[in-house]
Chains A and B, each alone.
Chain A
Amino acid sequence: MRSTWRVWGVVVALVVLHLFLHLGLGFGPAAPDLLTVALLLGARELGTGGGAGLGFGLGLLEDAFSVLAFGANTLALTVVGAVSARTRDLFVGDSVSFLVSYLFVGKWMRDLLHWLAIGEGLREPFIQVILVEGTLGAAYAMGTGLIALTLTGAWWEKAR
């Protein structure tokens, strides 16, 4: 029970910090995508449906400022939430290498799904958005997430 509370505390803190950095301070890409990190952490506490629901809620928050691609973030995070929850049945996930890969692939997949969902008219070039910015963003989120989860102990407490 104690570990669950710690995990959800970290999830809420990451979401609030993400919104503070991106909306409150307007940092944009300069701040890491902690919303996806929070989803990747929280979804493993839930089943597939719960993970999708968590992604749906977080995606709605992210979409509140999307004028022409409303729903693209929601769809991307819903799918990532569902898939993340499913990984709990496939991987134990108590190693650093798994956590690193999990955060990196999760964030990269979220960007790819968002890129696919926004439609052809708004789509930026694949090379820039997915290969360059997506990879850098995934590495940034992975590094920040690794530090946050190590400092709080949320990941390993959960895996114990």
Chain B
Amino acid sequence: MPAYVNEPAENGGRRHWVVAAVFVILSLVLLYLPPGSQQRIATVLRSSVLRPFVRTQEALAAARLRATESERLRAVLDSVVSASTSNTVLAEENRRLRGLLSLSSRLGPSWKAASVIRAGTVGSESTFQLDIGSADGVVVNSPVITRAGLVGLVREVGERTALGMDWTHPEFRASAMSEDGLTTGMVETVRGDFREEDRLQFNGTAFHTSLSDGTMVLTTGLGVIPRGIPIGTIAGLADEDEGWRRSYWLAPMVEPGRITHVLVATTLRGLPDDISPGWTTDSIATLDGDAEGREPDGPTLFPDSVEGLAPDGTPEATDSASGRGGDGL
């Protein structure tokens, strides 16, 4: 005698399991879709259902910025206006000389300012959203920087928004060199047992070179990131293979969790090869010092420029022949 079963309930239960299995298979398919297809789905969601929430954060971030940073920004703006006013003549002269030498302008229009928005969802750690996109000239792998140095790279681009990853992301890599260009290697994130222990490491440097603590590490320009962007400073020896290589810990120039505004390269082709002049430490120190109402730590002018001036402040004609006075480039 066959066991009693509730036929409709059994059929319904089987149907439920089939539907559940279909959804599980669909989610597995999603997981292994090509990145382009995944990106399209994510973009549709971000620009439709989730758009009101993203807009809320954009509005709040703007309000927070206006409330907390207005005084500091005003101080920085005042010092910038003051510096630019007194440097107008030098800038004009610099522009003319650059034109004569057929050099492109420093940094210039290849960079665009953007606001950073962080989604607090699971899986979005080490990533951020920008409020500019392909319509503004942003492309995949565009470097993202602040006045302090490298933040990360753009990974996905929509029309009006873009998604980027900062240097804490496990897939972040940057070809790097010491400030003097003699020691080269690769900067990458090293995971700790806990997230707070994640650190930047300058890896694979030649054993015969040695770097002291505090040495600035910059990008080399190999790959998609332009040359000369500060990444961090040496903060101790991490590891060494006898006779083979050394690795150093890096103190990062940028704390990704604190950034609110960044500059994004809007076209990779238009970038100058070496943009290190954009990060002259003395100019940063001067700007910060002026904003805080104290004397700057470093010189406010390039030393050779000062040397190129006569006591009365007029340029001396002999320096160009000696090869000095070219810092203005």
CB–CB B56/A20 < 8 A: yes
Which residues between 140 and 157 of chain B lie within 8 Å of chain A, taking CB atoms?
Answer: 155-156
A92 within 8 Å of B by Cβ? no
B-contact bits for A66-105, CB 8 A (1 contact / 0 none): 1111111111001101100100000000000000000000
Say yes or no: B23 contacts A52, CB within 8 Å: yes
Q: How far is the CA of A152 from the CA of B70 in the complex (A)?
A: 42
- CB proximity to A under 8 Å, residues B208-261: none
User: What residue of chain A has the Cβ atom nearest to residue B196's Cβ?
Assistant: A128
What chain B residues lie within 8 Å of A111 (beta carbons)?
A: 122
Q: How many residues of A contact B (CB 8 A)?
A: 56
What separation, in Å, do the CA atoms of A125 and B192 have in the docked complex? 8
The answer to whether A75 and B28 touch (CB under 8 A), given A23-B50, A49-B17, A67-B163, is yes
- Chain B residues in 8 Å Cβ range of A28: 118, 120
In the complex the two chains form, is A26's CB within 8 Å of B16's CB?
A: no
Chain A residues with CB under 8 A of B121 = 22-23, 62, 64-66, 73
In the bound assembly, the distance between CA atoms of A36 and B91 in angstroms comes to 58
Among B15, B49, B124, chain A packs the most CB atoms within 10 A around the CB of B124
The interface-forming segment of B30-38, B174-182, B280-288, B318-326 is B30-38
List residues 1-48 of chain A with CB under 8 A from any CB of chain B: 19-31, 33, 47-48
Counting CB contacts under 8 A, is A118 at the interface? yes
Structural contact, A59 and B27, CB atoms closer than 8 A: yes
In the bound complex, residues from chain B placing their C-beta under 8 Å from that of A155 are none
Distance between Cα atoms of A82 and B27 in the complex (Å): 13
Q: Whole-angstrom distance between the alpha carbons of A77 and B327 in the complex?
A: 58
The answer to whether A60 has its CB under 8 Å from any CB of chain B is yes
- Please tell me if the beta carbons of A49 and B120 are within 8 angstroms of each other in the complex: no
B281 to chain A, nearest CB (A): 32
Closest to B28 in A: A75
CA distance A19 to B124 in the complex (A): 13
Select B31's contact among A24, A50, A72, A125, beta carbons within 8 Å: A72
Query: Is the beta-carbon distance between A48 and B195 smaller than 8 angstroms?
Result: no
Residues 80-115 of B, flagged 1 when their CB comes within 8 A of A and 0 if not, give 000000000000000000000000000000000000
Residues of A within 8 A of B173 (CB): none
Those of B20-59 within 8 Å (CB) of chain A: 20, 22-24, 26-28, 30-33, 35, 38-39, 41-42, 45-46, 49-50, 52-54, 56-57
For the residues of A in contact with B, the DSSP-based class is helix
Q: Which of A24, A62, A79 contacts B123 (CB 8 A)?
A: A62
Asked if A157 CB lies within 8 Å of chain B CBs, one says no
Query: Is B312 interfacial (CB-CB < 8 Å)?
Result: no
Compute how far the CA of A73 lies from the CA of B122 in the bound complex, rounded to whole angstroms.
8
> Would you call A27 and B17 a contact (CB within 8 A)?
no
Q: State the interface size on chain B (CB cutoff 8 A).
A: 56
Q: Are A29 and B120 in contact (CB under 8 A)?
A: yes
Interface contact B156-A67, CB-CB below 8 Å:
yes
Asked, given contacts A47-B16, A65-B127, whether A23 binds B119 with beta carbons under 8 Å apart, the answer is yes
**Docked-complex contact B123 and A114, CB < 8 angstroms:** yes
B119 touches A74 (CB 8 A): no
Contact among B24, B52, B119, B191 for A65, CB-based, below 8 A: B119
Task: Provide the bound-state CA to CA distance between A3 and B52, in Å.
Answer: 29
Indicate if A146 sits at the interface (CB-CB under 8 A). no
Given contacts A50-B19, A62-B122, contact A128 B193 (CB under 8 A): yes
In the bound complex, how far is the Cα of B56 from the Cα of A4, in angstroms?
Answer: 31
Asked if B50 and A61 make an inter-chain contact with CB atoms under 8 angstroms apart, the answer reads yes
Q: Which of B20, B38, B61, B155 contacts A51 (CB 8 A)?
A: B20
Task: Using CB atoms, name the residue of chain A closest to B61.
Answer: A26
Say yes or no: A61 contacts B45, CB within 8 Å.
Answer: yes
The answer to whether A24 touches B170 (Cβ under 8 A) is no
**A–B Cβ pairs within 8 angstroms, 24 of them:** A22-B120, A23-B56, A24-B53, A26-B118, A31-B120, A49-B20, A50-B16, A53-B23, A56-B26, A59-B27, A60-B45, A61-B49, A62-B123, A64-B121, A67-B163, A70-B31, A70-B39, A72-B123, A79-B24, A82-B20, A114-B123, A122-B170, A122-B171, A124-B191
